């Protein structure tokens, strides 16, 4: 495991993996979205509106997966003091927040024609909005503690905030909500293959883009740290000479 702790080794892999993830993700999501927009059938009750599914579900999954990644990376950072884990956690925050916001916006655009309202304060919608604010809080903490040179606070916040993820998932089962229960569970689908297959492709595509953005941001953080360290060494060296 500590083999990946070496930034040089990580960078060697990330250099070719980043464009590969981004490009394959863009191809898959563009294809499945075009399919969802023009080829997928209308739904028997909802009609054409169902096409928002192909944006809404992948972004919802990644909004939740993003925080799960932050929580796992924070755990590794706290317990094993793995240097890349903290960087990975920080790198997941922005794409996670962007996808959560896109999930809320697409859900609102779906709710208006399907339910007759832009927004309700039911369990699912409220817990998803809480997730967006958790992301904002995490990004602020990570930014602040980065300057102070310690990231323990952000990692603890990342772990504690993970309690919201099962709440989001089970909100539609625990409480009466306007949002319907999940259509897909392990080995079981209430969704016809005409919707399910393009949805799965879109989810894979969006996830590849997510992975590519995480790698991009990890490389940014590493490059900034390396440049800063080098400048500091040089400043000390010139001071020593004078």
Residues 147-176 that bind other proteins (CB under 8 A): 159-160, 163-164, 166-167, 170-171, 174-176
Residue (of 138, 69, 63, 64) closest to 101 by Cα position: 63
Locate 27 and state its tokens.
Answer: 């191809």
Q: Which is nearer to other proteins, 50 or 145 (CB)?
A: 50
When asked if residue 237 is in the footprint of other proteins (CB under 8 A), the reply is: no
Question: Which positions from 110 through 129 interact with other proteins, judged by CB under 8 A?
Answer: 110, 112-117, 120-123
Q: Which residue has the tokens 């997730």?
A: 131
- SS3 category, 100: helix
Q: What is the dihedral of CA 150, 217, 54, 199, to 10 degrees?
A: -90
**Which of 20, 192, 235, 237 is in the footprint of other proteins by CB under 8 A?**
192
Q: What are phi and psi of 43, to 5 degrees?
A: -90, 155
Question: Which positions from 197 through 236 interact with other proteins, judged by CB under 8 A?
Answer: 206, 209, 212-213, 216-217, 219-220, 223-224, 226-227, 230-231, 234
- Residue 18 CB, shortest distance to other proteins, in Å, is 8
Q: Which is nearer to other proteins, 70 or 114 (CB)?
A: 114
Q: Which is nearer to other proteins, 145 or 205 (CB)?
A: 205
Cα 179 to Cα 53: distance, rounded to the nearest angstrom: 13
When asked if residue 37 is in the footprint of other proteins (CB under 8 A), the reply is: yes
* CB-CB contact of 126 with 94 (8 Å): no
Beta bridge partners of 221: none
């Amino acid at each position: 495991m500590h083999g990946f702790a070496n930034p040089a080794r990580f960078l060697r892999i990330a250099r070719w993996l980043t464009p590969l993830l981004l490009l394959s993700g863009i191809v898959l999501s563009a294809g499945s979205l075009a399919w969802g927009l023009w080829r997928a059938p209308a739904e028997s009750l909802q009609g054409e509106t169902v096409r928002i599914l192909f944006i809404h579900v992948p972004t919802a999954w990644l909004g939740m997966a993003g925080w799960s990644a932050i929580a796992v990376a924070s755990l590794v950072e706290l317990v094993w003091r793995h240097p890349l884990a903290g960087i990975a956690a920080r790198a997941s925050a922005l794409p996670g927040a962007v996808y959560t916001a896109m999930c809320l916006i697409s859900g609102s655009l779906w709710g208006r024609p399907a339910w007759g309202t832009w927004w309700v304060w039911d369990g699912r919608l409220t817990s998803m909005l809480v997730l967006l604010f958790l992301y904002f809080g995490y990004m602020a903490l990570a930014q602040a503690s980065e300057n102070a040179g310690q990231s323990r606070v952000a990692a603890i916040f990342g772990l504690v905030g993970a309690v919201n993820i099962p709440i989001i998932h089970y909100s539609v089962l625990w409480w009466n909500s306007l949002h319907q229960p999940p259509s897909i569970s392990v080995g079981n689908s209430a969704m016809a293959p005409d919707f399910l297959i393009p949805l799965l492709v879109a989810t894979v595509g969006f996830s590849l883009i997510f992975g590519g953005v995480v790698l991009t941001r990890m490389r940014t953080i590493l490059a900034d740290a390396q440049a800063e360290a080098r400048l500091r060494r040089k400043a000390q060296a010139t001071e020593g000479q004078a």
